[in-house]
Amino acid sequence: MNILETKFAGLTLKNPIIMSSCGRTAKAANNKAIEDAGAGAIVLKSLFEENITRETEHLNQSTDHSESADYMHGYIRSHAMSEYLQLIKDTKRLCSIPVIASINCHSAGEWAQFARMAEDAGADALELNIMSIATSKDYVNGSFEQMHLDIVRSIRNMVKFPLIVKLGQNISNPVWLVDQLKSVGANAVVLFNRPYQPDVDIDNMQFTVGQVFSSENGLAEPLRWTAIVSAAVHGMDIAISGGVHDGAGVVKALLAGASAVEVSSAIYKNGNEWFRHTLNELEQWQEKHQYKAIAEYKGKMNASGTENPDFWLRTQFLKYFATRE
């Protein structure tokens, strides 16, 4: 038995390290190299609803004809989907590990139909990257969370393969939402999506992108919520995304209750060899502590124990400063 084997969203992974959606997973040859380096699964580069919409709007500015605009919108969407379906097929032809398609969407739209096409193309699962920010002054409480449920429900009605929802940190109550997502057919969640960091160049008066890559310091929040959610919502797999940069980070995620981790920044910084090095660290830690399988210690330090809950809550912060002079 492979001591690093884990179950995530109904999939069997040879190890818990998943290559997350990024530019490197946009080519089948890259995905094969990532598998050879040791990844347990791959999330393909996301198909962005926002990009398709923006490109359509840009082209529509050159015409006043509604029929032409409708045609261009349909053509652009169809072309993008066709290319993406080919990426799924090419990657599945080269790789034996689970291949997870990814959609970055903020509405149900036509994505339910695309989900079926992705399933037919051979994808093992679909990750729904629902990255959006509620900014309207007319916002109705709960509508942001309801959007997540509506998207998952509409897609679940069309497909049978696993659905994974990657959440942003701007959720008021992740426990409630994860429980509701489970009820409408989601198989797993990823905590959390890391949006690009906006910044401003004050000399040139231009918008810029801040820190692109995550750091070890970013692990605290997904670790906290994984520990809390895994204790409260049973039967829902969790992957941590953001802040995992070594074997210790993987172990922490698993102890908190995650079934897997998603990584990309560590690979951009260190190359594909990072997989082998980190898996060696994980295996050595398991042998040191005499664990024969991840299932033996997964969730061992989540919020379900009588001694653990306070550590994951804000009161621990107050206790820290209460001991300082």
Average pLDDT across the chain, whole number:
86
Strand duo 17-19 + 198-201: pairing: unpaired
- Domain-wise residue ranges, the chain: 6-322
Q: In the structure, what pLDDT confidence band is assigned to residue 105 with cuts at 50, 70 and 90?
A: confident
Cβ distance 40 to 17 under 8 Å?
yes
β partners of residue 128: 103, 165
pTM: 0.88
Asked if pLDDT for residue 162 goes beyond 90, the answer is yes
Q: Pick the residue with more confidence: 81 or 313? A: 81
What pLDDT does residue 324 have?
55
CA-nearest of 281, 220, 288, 214 to 248 is 281
**pLDDT tens per residue across span 196-217:** 678 898 999 998 876 667 777 8
**pLDDT tens per residue across span 249-275:** 999 999 999 999 999 999 999 999 999
Q: How many CB atoms lie within 10 A of CB 138?
A: 5
Fold for 6-322, please state it. Answer: TIM Barrel (3.20.20)
**pLDDT tens per residue across span 59-85:** 444 555 454 444 444 544 566 789 999
The answer to which of 11-20, 182-191, 243-252, 312-321 has the lowest mean pLDDT is 312-321
Q: In the structure, what pLDDT confidence band is assigned to residue 8 with cuts at 50, 70 and 90?
A: very high
